[in-house]
Amino acid sequence: MKRLFNSKPDPCTEFIDSLPAFRDGILPEDTHTKLEMHRMDCASCQKVLMEEQKVSSLMAEIQPAEVPLGFRDKVLREWRLRRDTVKKTIPAVSIGRIQVALAAVLVWVLLLPMVRLQLLSSGHKLIGTLDRLPPEYREGIDITFNVPTFAEMSATFMVWQGGILESMGELGSVIAPWSGWLWSALVVTGILAAVHFFFLKSKLPMRDSKTQKSKESM
Protein backbone atom coordinates (compact mmCIF):
# COMPACT_ATOMS: atom_id res chain seq x y z
CA MET A 1 0.00 0.00 0.00
CA LYS A 2 2.86 2.30 0.76
CA ARG A 3 3.91 2.28 -2.89
CA LEU A 4 0.46 3.44 -3.98
CA PHE A 5 0.91 6.75 -2.26
CA ASN A 6 4.58 7.14 -2.92
CA SER A 7 5.22 8.45 -6.44
CA LYS A 8 8.96 7.86 -6.16
CA PRO A 9 9.80 4.17 -6.84
CA ASP A 10 12.00 2.36 -4.37
CA PRO A 11 15.63 1.90 -5.49
CA CYS A 12 15.21 -1.82 -6.25
CA THR A 13 12.19 -1.21 -8.49
CA GLU A 14 14.03 1.61 -10.21
CA PHE A 15 17.02 -0.66 -10.76
CA ILE A 16 14.92 -3.49 -12.18
CA ASP A 17 12.97 -1.12 -14.43
CA SER A 18 16.19 0.30 -15.83
CA LEU A 19 17.95 -3.03 -16.02
CA PRO A 20 18.22 -3.45 -19.82
CA ALA A 21 19.46 0.11 -20.27
CA PHE A 22 21.77 -0.27 -17.27
CA ARG A 23 23.21 -3.49 -18.66
CA ASP A 24 23.73 -1.90 -22.09
CA GLY A 25 25.29 1.18 -20.48
CA ILE A 26 23.00 3.59 -22.24
CA LEU A 27 21.62 5.41 -19.20
CA PRO A 28 22.57 9.02 -18.44
CA GLU A 29 25.78 9.08 -16.42
CA ASP A 30 24.23 10.36 -13.20
CA THR A 31 21.43 7.75 -13.30
CA HIS A 32 23.91 4.99 -14.04
CA THR A 33 26.11 6.07 -11.12
CA LYS A 34 23.13 6.23 -8.78
CA LEU A 35 21.97 2.72 -9.77
CA GLU A 36 25.51 1.36 -9.61
CA MET A 37 25.84 2.70 -6.05
CA HIS A 38 22.59 1.00 -5.14
CA ARG A 39 23.61 -2.28 -6.79
CA MET A 40 26.83 -2.43 -4.80
CA ASP A 41 24.85 -2.31 -1.56
CA CYS A 42 21.96 -4.54 -2.59
CA ALA A 43 22.43 -8.32 -2.77
CA SER A 44 19.02 -8.78 -4.37
CA CYS A 45 19.79 -6.39 -7.25
CA GLN A 46 23.21 -7.99 -7.74
CA LYS A 47 21.46 -11.31 -8.24
CA VAL A 48 18.96 -9.77 -10.65
CA LEU A 49 21.76 -8.25 -12.71
CA MET A 50 23.65 -11.53 -12.80
CA GLU A 51 20.57 -13.35 -14.04
CA GLU A 52 20.00 -10.68 -16.65
CA GLN A 53 23.54 -11.11 -17.95
CA LYS A 54 23.24 -14.89 -18.06
CA VAL A 55 19.96 -14.82 -19.98
CA SER A 56 21.28 -12.16 -22.29
CA SER A 57 24.43 -14.11 -23.11
CA LEU A 58 22.50 -17.33 -23.75
CA MET A 59 19.90 -15.63 -25.90
CA ALA A 60 22.68 -14.08 -27.95
CA GLU A 61 23.43 -17.62 -29.18
CA ILE A 62 20.31 -17.63 -31.27
CA GLN A 63 20.79 -16.37 -34.77
CA PRO A 64 18.21 -13.97 -36.17
CA ALA A 65 15.96 -15.46 -38.81
CA GLU A 66 17.08 -15.12 -42.39
CA VAL A 67 14.86 -13.30 -44.81
CA PRO A 68 14.11 -15.58 -47.77
CA LEU A 69 15.42 -14.42 -51.11
CA GLY A 70 12.92 -12.28 -53.00
CA PHE A 71 10.69 -11.84 -49.96
CA ARG A 72 10.41 -8.09 -50.44
CA ASP A 73 9.33 -8.41 -54.09
CA LYS A 74 6.90 -11.19 -53.21
CA VAL A 75 5.20 -9.07 -50.55
CA LEU A 76 5.01 -6.00 -52.76
CA ARG A 77 3.67 -8.03 -55.68
CA GLU A 78 0.94 -9.55 -53.53
CA TRP A 79 0.09 -6.16 -51.99
CA ARG A 80 -0.17 -4.57 -55.46
CA LEU A 81 -2.33 -7.42 -56.72
CA ARG A 82 -4.79 -7.10 -53.82
CA ARG A 83 -4.88 -3.32 -54.05
CA ASP A 84 -5.77 -3.51 -57.75
CA THR A 85 -8.41 -6.16 -57.06
CA VAL A 86 -10.00 -3.99 -54.39
CA LYS A 87 -10.03 -1.00 -56.73
CA LYS A 88 -11.85 -3.00 -59.41
CA THR A 89 -14.53 -4.21 -57.03
CA ILE A 90 -15.41 -0.76 -55.62
CA PRO A 91 -18.81 0.23 -57.07
CA ALA A 92 -19.07 3.21 -59.39
CA VAL A 93 -21.37 4.96 -56.93
CA SER A 94 -19.35 5.87 -53.89
CA ILE A 95 -20.49 5.30 -50.32
CA GLY A 96 -20.59 9.07 -49.77
CA ARG A 97 -23.10 9.59 -52.56
CA ILE A 98 -25.28 6.79 -51.27
CA GLN A 99 -25.23 8.41 -47.85
CA VAL A 100 -26.32 11.77 -49.24
CA ALA A 101 -29.10 10.23 -51.30
CA LEU A 102 -30.34 8.28 -48.29
CA ALA A 103 -30.22 11.43 -46.22
CA ALA A 104 -32.34 13.32 -48.68
CA VAL A 105 -34.98 10.61 -48.58
CA LEU A 106 -34.82 10.34 -44.80
CA VAL A 107 -35.18 14.05 -44.17
CA TRP A 108 -38.30 14.40 -46.29
CA VAL A 109 -39.81 11.02 -45.52
CA LEU A 110 -39.08 10.74 -41.81
CA LEU A 111 -38.41 14.18 -40.44
CA LEU A 112 -41.41 16.02 -41.83
CA PRO A 113 -44.03 13.47 -40.72
CA MET A 114 -42.46 13.62 -37.28
CA VAL A 115 -42.87 17.40 -37.19
CA ARG A 116 -46.42 17.02 -38.46
CA LEU A 117 -47.24 14.55 -35.69
CA GLN A 118 -45.81 16.93 -33.15
CA LEU A 119 -48.04 19.72 -34.47
CA LEU A 120 -51.08 17.48 -34.33
CA SER A 121 -50.31 16.54 -30.77
CA SER A 122 -49.85 20.19 -29.75
CA GLY A 123 -53.14 21.10 -31.43
CA HIS A 124 -55.04 18.40 -29.61
CA LYS A 125 -53.51 19.46 -26.31
CA LEU A 126 -54.62 23.04 -26.92
CA ILE A 127 -58.17 21.95 -27.75
CA GLY A 128 -58.19 19.72 -24.65
CA THR A 129 -57.13 22.66 -22.48
CA LEU A 130 -59.88 24.86 -23.90
CA ASP A 131 -62.44 22.12 -23.32
CA ARG A 132 -61.60 22.13 -19.63
CA LEU A 133 -62.33 25.85 -19.31
CA PRO A 134 -65.72 26.86 -17.83
CA PRO A 135 -68.32 27.56 -20.56
CA GLU A 136 -68.39 31.32 -19.91
CA TYR A 137 -64.70 31.57 -20.82
CA ARG A 138 -65.17 29.59 -23.99
CA GLU A 139 -67.90 31.79 -25.31
CA GLY A 140 -66.96 33.48 -28.51
CA ILE A 141 -63.85 31.38 -29.00
CA ASP A 142 -63.85 29.39 -32.20
CA ILE A 143 -60.82 27.28 -32.90
CA THR A 144 -60.15 25.77 -36.25
CA PHE A 145 -57.04 23.65 -36.20
CA ASN A 146 -55.52 23.02 -39.59
CA VAL A 147 -52.57 20.69 -39.78
CA PRO A 148 -50.33 21.79 -42.62
CA THR A 149 -49.85 19.50 -45.55
CA PHE A 150 -46.42 18.11 -46.42
CA ALA A 151 -46.13 20.58 -49.27
CA GLU A 152 -46.85 23.50 -46.95
CA MET A 153 -44.37 22.21 -44.40
CA SER A 154 -41.71 21.76 -47.05
CA ALA A 155 -42.25 25.35 -48.14
CA THR A 156 -42.04 26.57 -44.54
CA PHE A 157 -38.89 24.60 -43.99
CA MET A 158 -37.34 26.12 -47.07
CA VAL A 159 -38.29 29.63 -45.93
CA TRP A 160 -36.80 28.97 -42.48
CA GLN A 161 -33.64 27.63 -43.99
CA GLY A 162 -33.51 30.58 -46.38
CA GLY A 163 -33.66 32.90 -43.38
CA ILE A 164 -30.65 31.22 -41.80
CA LEU A 165 -28.69 31.36 -45.02
CA GLU A 166 -29.53 35.04 -45.48
CA SER A 167 -28.26 35.83 -42.03
CA MET A 168 -24.95 34.17 -42.95
CA GLY A 169 -24.37 36.79 -45.67
CA GLU A 170 -21.74 35.96 -48.28
CA LEU A 171 -21.11 32.48 -46.92
CA GLY A 172 -24.85 31.76 -47.03
CA SER A 173 -25.01 32.47 -50.74
CA VAL A 174 -22.13 30.05 -51.33
CA ILE A 175 -23.73 27.32 -49.22
CA ALA A 176 -27.29 27.88 -50.52
CA PRO A 177 -27.12 25.60 -53.58
CA TRP A 178 -25.77 22.78 -51.38
CA SER A 179 -27.84 23.35 -48.27
CA GLY A 180 -30.30 20.52 -48.91
CA TRP A 181 -27.44 18.11 -49.41
CA LEU A 182 -25.63 19.38 -46.36
CA TRP A 183 -28.63 18.89 -44.10
CA SER A 184 -29.18 15.45 -45.49
CA ALA A 185 -25.54 14.44 -45.23
CA LEU A 186 -25.41 15.65 -41.65
CA VAL A 187 -28.40 13.61 -40.55
CA VAL A 188 -27.51 10.39 -42.35
CA THR A 189 -23.82 10.52 -41.55
CA GLY A 190 -24.79 10.70 -37.92
CA ILE A 191 -27.14 7.75 -38.26
CA LEU A 192 -24.62 5.67 -40.20
CA ALA A 193 -21.84 6.51 -37.79
CA ALA A 194 -24.01 5.41 -34.88
CA VAL A 195 -25.00 2.18 -36.65
CA HIS A 196 -21.38 1.49 -37.56
CA PHE A 197 -20.15 2.22 -34.06
CA PHE A 198 -22.72 0.21 -32.19
CA PHE A 199 -23.42 -2.69 -34.50
CA LEU A 200 -20.91 -3.18 -37.25
CA LYS A 201 -17.51 -2.24 -35.89
CA SER A 202 -16.69 -5.52 -34.23
CA LYS A 203 -18.52 -7.67 -36.72
CA LEU A 204 -16.83 -6.70 -39.99
CA PRO A 205 -15.60 -9.88 -41.68
CA MET A 206 -11.87 -10.29 -42.13
CA ARG A 207 -10.72 -10.35 -45.69
CA ASP A 208 -9.83 -13.74 -47.14
CA SER A 209 -6.10 -14.11 -47.24
CA LYS A 210 -3.64 -16.42 -48.78
CA THR A 211 -2.88 -17.67 -45.30
CA GLN A 212 -6.50 -18.49 -44.66
CA LYS A 213 -6.75 -20.31 -47.93
CA SER A 214 -3.60 -22.27 -47.33
CA LYS A 215 -4.86 -23.21 -43.87
CA GLU A 216 -8.06 -24.57 -45.34
CA SER A 217 -6.26 -26.53 -48.00
CA MET A 218 -3.92 -28.15 -45.49
Residue numbers of the site for another protein (CB under 8 A)?
Answer: 16-17, 20, 51-52, 54-68, 71-72, 74-76, 78-80, 82-83, 209-211, 214-216, 218
What b-and-e string marks burial along 26-37, b requiring 16 or more CB atoms within 10 Å of the CB? ebeeeeeebbee
Distances (CA, A) of 54 to 43, 59, 157, 187: 17, 9, 78, 63
Q: How far is the CB of 84 from another protein (least distance, A)?
A: 12
Q: How far is the CB of 64 from another protein (least distance, A)?
A: 5
Query: Nearer Cβ to another protein, position 67 or 93?
Result: 67
Q: How far is the CB of 149 from another protein (least distance, A)?
A: 48
Query: Nearer Cβ to another protein, position 70 or 91?
Result: 70
Distances (CA, A) of 138 to 54, 134, 195: 99, 7, 50
Q: How far is the CB of 76 from another protein (least distance, A)?
A: 6
Q: Pick from 108, 130, 133: which is nearest to 184 by CA? A: 108
Query: Nearer Cβ to another protein, position 16 or 112?
Result: 16
Q: How far is the CB of 41 from another protein (least distance, A)?
A: 21
Distance CA 149, CA 213 (A): 59
Q: Torsion angle of alpha carbons 172, 177, 183, 185, nearest 10°?
A: -130
Stretch (H or E) spanning 92? none
Query: Nearer Cβ to another protein, position 82 or 125?
Result: 82
Query: Nearer Cβ to another protein, position 63 or 202?
Result: 63
